[in-house]
Amino acid sequence: MIRRLLLFVFIPASLAFAQLDSNSVIVTTTSNSSTLQPDQVLFIVNVNAPLTSSLNNVLAALAGSGINQANLSGSSNQAYFPVGAVTNNPVYWTFNLPVPWSQMKSTVATLNGLQNSIAASNNGMQLSFSVEGPQVSTQLQQSQTCSPAGLITSARASAQNLVTAAGLTLGNILAMSSPSTSGCSLIVKFQLMR
């Protein structure tokens, strides 16, 4: 009875392995463009404003900062200012401001100046900001080309190293994914020759 049970367990497993394609190798390759160095820093700018303030009012208060409607990342009726901050302002506006490294110091000075002028204006608004961290700009990402031919050449070289180590020969391409532009990568399935 135990032999029948073991036979029952191992037959489905062997059938599953029999369905694998043993005459191919799959490799994933990526371009060097995925290792771009960050060229800008992201500021998160928060404005806590009265319910009666529109987006135009908030943008007017931010004049000179380089922030416009395109930088708006969201708004909410919950304030996220430090514990102990006194505020009766129900609308919280959040803006993302990407800035080149070279402008980081001047942007901090500009935002500090705005923070002080908004507080002095008694318009019911408060400004806070933080640095989210370094990032690669859209312009730099778009300047990098993702060459499908280069990715295929790289995939073939990687696959060739694998099959040579196994004592096999690399054949034709059987299938491949579409090149991923976000990470400039490609998955390629090659035929194995014995």
Q: Quote the strand ranges of the chain, DSSP E.
A: 24-30, 40-49, 72-76, 91-100, 126-135, 169-176, 185-193
What percent of the chain has a predicted confidence (pLDDT) above 70?
A: 78
CATH entry, 40-136, from 3.30.420, 3.30.160, 3.10.20, 3.30.70: 3.30.70
Rounded to an integer, what distance in angstroms lies between the CA atom of residue 21 and that of residue 88?
66
* Model pLDDT, residue 137: 85
Domain ranges within the chain, ordered by starting residue:
21-36+144-193, 40-136
How far CA 46 is from CA of 39, 141, 157, in Å, comes to: 23, 27, 50
Residue 80: CB atoms within 10 Å: 11
| Residues 116-149 as b or e (16 or more Cβ within 10 Å = b) | eebeeeeebbbbbbeeeeeebeeeebeeeebeee
pLDDT at 18 over 70: no
pLDDT digits over 66-115, tens only? 999 999 999 887 655 555 555 555 799 999 999 998 999 999 999 999 99
Q: Which two tokens stand for residue 41?
A: 């820093």
Rounded to an integer, what distance in angstroms lies between the CA atom of residue 71 and that of residue 126?
18
- The answer to pTM > 0.75 is no
**Between 28 and 110, whose confidence is greater?**
110
pLDDT at 183 over 50: yes
Tokens 């073991």 map to which residue? 6
* Model pLDDT, residue 20: 43
Residue 165: CB atoms within 10 Å: 8
The dihedral formed by the CA atoms of 149, 152, 153 and 157, expressed in degrees to the nearest 10: 170
